[in-house]
Every structure is written in C-alpha cells, then in structure tokens.
Amino acid sequence: MSTYQQIVLASRPKGQVSPDNFRLETATVPPLADGQVLVRNHFLSLDPYMRGRMEETKSYAVPQELDKVMGGGTVGEVVESKNPKFAVGDKVVGMLGWAEMGVADGPTLRKIDTTHVPLSAWLGAVGMPGMTAWYGLTQIMQPKIGETIVVSAASGAVGSVVGQLAKMRGCRAVGIAGGAEKCAYVVNELGFDACVDYKAGNLEADLAAATPNGIDAIFENVGGKIFDAGLARMNPFGRIALCGLISGYNGEPMALNNVRAFLTMRLTLRGFIVSEHMDLWPQGLAELGNLVGSGKLKFRESVAQGLAAAPEAFIGLLKGRNFGKQLVKLV
C-alpha cells in the first residue's frame, strides 16, 4: 500500500461537533529513517478528551492543530521496521491518530502480547481507559472495604472498570448511566450493586435509594447535575476523582450548586490526567491484563467500521450513543 487514508481537523467546532469539522485525505507512505517503524493500524480509539483538544484554549495538552491528523490512540501491526527493537509482525500500541497507517519512532510505541488479551482491549480495559480507572480508584479514591463508591458514565470504557475494581476491593459500587439497557448491563453483567438511570427523571431520589449509607468516594466523568446529586450524598472526608466533565464539552456553562458540601463534609476533590503518571502504568497494566486475560474483568466495545466512520462515531460518543469502549476498526 503506497497510499493510505487519514482524517485531519478541518475547522474548530462552534458548540457541538459536526462532520464538517473533519476532512478525509489520502496520504503517501513516507520512506523510513533509521529508528522508525511503519505501522498498519487495526483499531483507532475514540475518547471524550479529544473534544477538549479541538478547542484553542489553555489546557493540559496543546490544542489539536488544524489540517493535521487528528490525534488518538491506536493498535496495529508493524509492516516495516528500521528499529532493532521492533520486527515486522509485532503488535504495537501507540498514538498514531485517525489514520490507516503511521510512522513512529521506537520510544512512542509499546509492544503488546495478544495471547490472552485481545488486540482491541489494549485501547480499552488494558489501555488508557483502564489505567484511568485504576489510577483514579487506587490513588485518589483509595476505597476501604465496605465503603460506597459512585461512578458516573458507569457503562463506558472507564466507568465500567472503576466499578469492577471497586467490587474486587470489597466496596459497594453504584453506577449512574443513561437508559434502562445500560443500567441493566452495569448491574447484571459488570456486577455493580446498583445503577441509577439519570434519564428516568428521578436522579436525586434514585441515587439516595441506591446509597442508603451515603457516598464515600466518587469517580466523576460527567459533571453538572449528576455531579451535584452525588455531592449531596457525600459522607465526611469523602474523596472525588475528577476524570471528565462530558456534560459541558460542547461549551455550555456548567453550574455546581452543592459546593457547600466541600466544606461541611470536608471533601477532597482532585482532577487528574493519567498520562502524567506513567511511573504507575506497569503496576496498573499488570493487574488489568491479568484480570482481562483470566476473564475476571469484563468489557464491552462499540465498533465503527472503516476510517470514514470515525467522525460520526465520535459525535455519537459525545452524545452517549456508544455502549462501552468506542473503537473504529480499520483492518
């Protein structure tokens, strides 16, 4: 294949993301320099953080450049190598973006073993989302046996792992998700103790019923009214791992009404970016890989077919249409 397809950011969104913000292009496979590796991507990861990078605002990462390949996690196979650490046929995870192929320097790729863990799972439960869940739970929420933890976006790639890991540590795990189908999956398949359907219209009352002893720790992915409802149920010295605020990613102002709880309940809130804690990745990935490989950690995937489907799949992700980890299958 002397050419391949890629998607670039054509314009910055004004409010909600539109397919017009992206452009599909054909690129030529470049010659490799010493130390470089050519990878044919099999799966592309779509993640909520990408919405923030589309804005030209100060954040933890530089904004996505216009007319450049959209950034994103990938798994694939080495098809050409000028790096002694990688051989043709090696399976690798990297950040080669919304493209069928990509060239990478060795340090930006990680060789992976697909004997017990499926290739796609290295972008989900045993990838950045899984590590996000593991870090937020173990390092910030620090749950103790018998405590109640609440996870918003509980059926998603991150939330689903948080709840399962919490259960394994002896906690009561309560999820919040949108729709009866997602809530049934969270309880019946993932093993949460309860799940509140925020679309049912009784968020505060349903959350109170699901957390009769209050909430000791929250893993927050959504923000807004859902976060407010959780704050109202917090126990003294509760911990909150702030991972995402997807309800406000399209630029709507996000009010928080129960701020008083931070004072009265002496709460700790900490935002985090998992890529800033690479020293803990080997420990976390070892646990996650063993759990997925042995079937003890369950995960679900929504898979769009072909690179051209990525923009619509990403828009659907931001609207909660995905079920589990959102991927694009490229091969």
Whether residues 134 and 267 share a domain: the answer is yes
Which segments of the chain have a pLDDT < 50? none
Relative to beta strand 110-111, strand 325-329 is unpaired
Q: Is residue 288 part of a domain?
A: no
Cα separation of 50 and 36, whole Å? 26
The enclosing domain of 142 has a CATH number of 3.40.50.720
CA angle 315, 317, 323 (to 5 degrees): 145
- Spatial neighbors of 290 by CB under 8 A, at least 6 apart, are none
Contact (CB, 8 A) for 299 and 121: yes
Q: Is residue 290 part of a domain?
A: no
Residue 152 is predicted with a pLDDT of: 97
What domain count does the chain have?
2
Cα separation of 258 and 44, whole Å? 38
Whether residues 44 and 110 share a domain: the answer is yes
Whether residues 308 and 252 share a domain: the answer is no
Whether residues 101 and 179 share a domain: the answer is no
The enclosing domain of 316 has a CATH number of 3.90.180.10
Residue 226 is predicted with a pLDDT of: 95
Residue 250 is predicted with a pLDDT of: 67
Cα separation of 251 and 14, whole Å? 8
Contact (CB, 8 A) for 254 and 245: yes
Whether residues 173 and 71 share a domain: the answer is no
Residue 1 is predicted with a pLDDT of: 59
Q: Is residue 96 part of a domain?
A: yes
Residue 1 neighbours by CB distance under 10 Å: 8
Q: DSSP characters for 194-231? A: EEEEGGGS-HHHHHHHH-TT-EEEEEESS-HHHHHHHH
Whether residues 250 and 304 share a domain: the answer is no
Q: Is residue 292 part of a domain?
A: no
Whether residues 139 and 263 share a domain: the answer is yes
Domain with 186 in it? 128-275
Whether residues 19 and 93 share a domain: the answer is yes
